[in-house]
Amino acid sequence: MTFSYCKLLCYLLVASQCGATPVRPKLVIDEDGGADDAMAIFMALICEKYLNGPQVVGLTTVFGNVNESQAYINTQRILNIAERKDVPIYRGAASPFVSGIESDYFFGMDGLGDNEVEDYDKIPARPIHAALALIHFSHLYGDKLIVVAIGSLTNIGLAMKLDPGFISRIGQLYVGAGHIHGAKYKEPEFNAAMDPEAYHIVANHSYPSQVTVVPFSPILTHVQIEKNWRINVLGKIPTAVSSYMIKFERKSIAAVNYWANLDPAVMAVALRESLVDEFKLSLNTIILCGTERGVTPHDFISENPNARVVVQINKIEYMIFLYTVFSTPVQDLGLRD
């Protein structure tokens, strides 16, 4: 796929990529400061600015890839690179409800590839906890609010415990966590295992009309992208964002023979649901005790489902979408060199 060909696709597909609507939806991203989160945030900001995507009204930080303090630092770096220091940051949970797991530091000890840190302007966090900010946005925007959760679910769980009506007010919650467990995927998924009790709270307060779960296993099964494409096609788009994303992923890309990150896939689904080839309704739970703690069973034949689950994404359409977003006609995107 040549650059000129994909540049043409940008023009042809731009109107349909991010779902233009008369009233622009509002988007909050609940994230844990890793390189995968950075890509998802860049996707949302580019879609907002150039492709009529949802307006990003806030980023909420949580522990996960790195501790919450580092996630806050990384969020400031990401917004500086995107020249979007106007986007408010709300700091959230620094630890799970009960207990979780240690980070595997897949994206480096700092979550962004352990590169030399560039200078960036500090962005003061807003003086309100992330969970309270989520509740505030749910009252302010109602069903126009989209929440994309791509870290541990502690902030979301706190919001639901503080305000049981939270989920019923918003338009959609996209949860990137868990696996569809079976013979191939038996172990807990990272985000779910970070705070199983939070996942349990979210599942117990969910409705299939308003909660979409994007498990990691369908990404690993159906959307394993060739590393060469990630490096030499997506990674060679001549923008500052593309250059930074490669830097941020330098350790994770070297660690595996393919590219299949969860967070960008979750954001892609939130921005363009037509990428999904198959949804299923599920009664989704999580195991809290014993050796299977963190495992997320799905009952796809239940008469009382609590979530809509992404079970297959179209790989080719997803790749085209990624390239379209990151190679929009305005090549410098107003970003720093």
Query: Looking at the domain assignment, is residue 77 inside a domain?
Result: yes
Query: Looking at the domain assignment, is residue 141 inside a domain?
Result: yes
Query: Looking at the domain assignment, is residue 216 inside a domain?
Result: yes
Query: Looking at the domain assignment, is residue 19 inside a domain?
Result: no
The pair of structure tokens assigned to 34 is 């890793």
Q: What are the DSSP calls for 29-96, one per residue?
A: EEE--SHHHHHHHHHHHHHHHHS---EEEEEEE-SSSS-HHHHHHHHHHHHHHTT-TTS-EEE--SS-
The reported pLDDT for the residue numbered 118 is: 87
Distance CA 335, CA 314 (A): 30
* pLDDT at residue 1 greater than cutoff 90: no
Q: What is the pLDDT of residues 50-70, one digit of tens each?
A: 999 999 999 999 999 999 999
Residue written as token pair 């109107």: 15
Average pLDDT, the chain: 92
Q: What is the pTM of this model?
A: 0.92
Going by C-beta distance under 8 Å and a sequence separation of 6 or more, which residues neighbour residue 171? 25, 142, 143, 144, 145, 146, 210
Please write down the long-range contacts of 45-48, taking CB distance under 8 Å and 24 or more positions apart: 45/82, 45/84, 45/87, 46/241, 46/325, 46/326, 46/328, 46/333, 47/17, 47/18, 47/271, 47/325
Distance CA 215, CA 178 (A): 5
Query: Looking at the domain assignment, is residue 62 inside a domain?
Result: yes
The CA-atom distances, in angstroms, between 275 and each of 6, 48, 130, 272 are 17, 18, 30, 6
What are the φ/ψ torsions at residue 82 (nearest 5 degrees)? -80, 0
Closest CA to 13 of 61, 52, 57: 52
Q: How many domains does the chain have?
A: 1
CATH code for the domain in which residue 244 is found: 3.90.245.10
What are the φ/ψ torsions at residue 226 (nearest 5 degrees)? -60, 135
Distance CA 107, CA 104 (A): 8
DSSP summary character for residue 119 = P
% the chain with pLDDT above 70: 91
Distance CA 156, CA 320 (A): 31
For the chain, the distance separating the N- and C-terminal CA atoms, rounded to the nearest angstrom, is 25
The reported pLDDT for the residue numbered 18 is: 55
Q: Exposed e or buried b for every residue in 76-100, given b needs 16+ CB within 10 A?
A: bbbbbbbebeebbbbbbbeebbeeb
Closest CA to 181 of 296, 284, 288, 283: 296
pLDDT top residue among 8 and 49:
49
Query: Looking at the domain assignment, is residue 121 inside a domain?
Result: yes
Closest CA to 90 of 159, 171, 187, 8: 159
The reported pLDDT for the residue numbered 183 is: 67
Query: Looking at the domain assignment, is residue 160 inside a domain?
Result: yes
Kindly state the average pLDDT of the residues 105-112.
98
| Helix (H) and strand (E) counts in the chain | 14, 11
The reported pLDDT for the residue numbered 10 is: 43
Residue written as token pair 């569809």: 180
Give me the domain span that covers residue 67: 3-14+24-326
* pLDDT at residue 313 greater than cutoff 60: yes
Query: Looking at the domain assignment, is residue 337 inside a domain?
Result: no
The pair of structure tokens assigned to 172 is 């959609």
The reported pLDDT for the residue numbered 185 is: 87
DSSP summary character for residue 23 = S
